[in-house]
Amino acid sequence: MAIDITVAIPDTARVGEGPFWDAETRRLCWVDILSGTLHDDDPDALVRSAIQLPTLVGAAVPKASGGWVAATAEGFTDIAPEGTWIARQDFLPQGIRMNDAKCDSAGRFWAGACAMDFDAGRGALHVLHPAWKTDVVLVGLTQPNGLDWSPDGATFYLIDTQARELLAFDVVPDQLAPVDRRVLAHFPASLGYPDGMTVDANGDLWIAMWGGGRILRLSPEGDIVGQVQMPVAQPSSCAFGGPDLDVLYVTTAREGLQPGPGDPAGSVLAVTGLSVRGLPSRRFGG
């Protein structure tokens, strides 16, 4: 089967991000960071729903109890199924915002925070527990992005976009903070900036290269083993979805561009024919 790329969800998102395939509802949750919009769409039926938040939103995932949890400019926000705000934890200082976020197998929400101007070293990785307690597990980052775990849960991956690095850590049982930080890959400027990513069932990493117009496929050792050229300059993140988890949904952005008629920048794209499946996305445990 040949690789095919289509527009799954037509949109004009400024910075589309954080795709999350909900296997229970067969809907795709994703956000537009700069417009503060949380999308919840059925890409097969093209049934769409959107919640407008009065703030920047880096990522959002469904909760086990219904509704969503969002990583916002101020910290974390609890959102009811009808879209109203239930509670907020505002703890980030002025000039810092949340960026990408994802849940682990324990239902904890891991979110990277960065300076609005990407000032080096001001970023950190925060964890929101299902009981709404928070911890800081990593500091000294610049733009934490693209986080995920290996299929066996033994390795944690994190991208620092401005440093153009893919980091890897060991996961210690019964310990929250990952250890043994190491640079698994460094990306030259010619490939663009590493942004959001996902890990497939085989353990390979799929990384959206902002400004590079491609999705890179890396082995667990950090070697580039394949790539998919995209019809947009700014793919921002990706996640496997569909009934068989074999569709790679790719969010894109049009911020800073002047897209012409028919340009899919800002839409969500679907890549099929990759002959690989993803892992189920994890809801927040609260």
Q: Which residues pair with 251 in a beta bridge?
A: 237, 268
Three-state DSSP class for residue 190? helix
Q: Which residues pair with 182 in a beta bridge?
A: 168
Looking up tokens 């609890």, which residue turns up? 78
- Distance in angstroms between the alpha carbons of the first and the last residue of the chain: 40
DSSP-derived letter for residue 51 is E
Residue type, 237: S
State the Cα–Cα distance between residues 102 and 162, nearest whole angstrom. 20
Dihedral pair phi/psi, residue 142, rounded to 5°:
-110, -60
Q: What is the per-residue pLDDT for 67? A: 96
Q: What is the per-residue pLDDT for 1? A: 62
Query: Considering Cα of 200, then 269, then 25, then 147, what sign does the dihedral take?
Result: positive
**Six token digits for residue 45:** 């039926």
CB neighbour list of residue 133: distance below 8 Å, 6 or more residues apart: none
**How many whole angstroms from its chain centre is CA 26?**
18
Q: What is the per-residue pLDDT for 283? A: 97
Q: What is the per-residue pLDDT for 99? A: 94
**Six token digits for residue 113:** 């925070």
Residue type, 80: A
State the Cα–Cα distance between residues 106 and 129, nearest whole angstrom. 9
What is the pLDDT tens value at each position of the chain, 286 positions in all?
Answer: 699 999 999 999 999 999 999 999 999 999 999 999 999 999 988 889 999 999 999 999 999 999 999 999 999 999 999 988 887 889 999 999 999 999 999 999 999 999 999 999 999 999 999 999 999 999 999 999 999 999 999 999 999 999 999 999 999 999 999 999 999 999 999 999 999 999 999 999 999 999 999 999 999 999 999 999 999 999 999 999 999 999 999 999 999 999 888 899 999 999 999 999 999 999 999 9
Task: Using DSSP bridges, classify how beta strands 57-62 and 68-72 pair: parallel, antiparallel or unpaired.
Answer: antiparallel
**Six token digits for residue 58:** 């880096």
Contact criterion met (CB below 8 Å) for 268 and 6: no
Residue whose C-alpha is closest to residue 28's, from 209, 190, 248, 179: 248
User: pTM of the prediction?
Assistant: 0.97
**Six token digits for residue 244:** 């068989």
CA distances from 140 to 118, 120, 186 (A): 12, 8, 18
Active-site choice (100, 104, 195, 246) = 195
148 noted as active-site residue: no
State the Cα–Cα distance between residues 197 and 33, nearest whole angstrom. 16
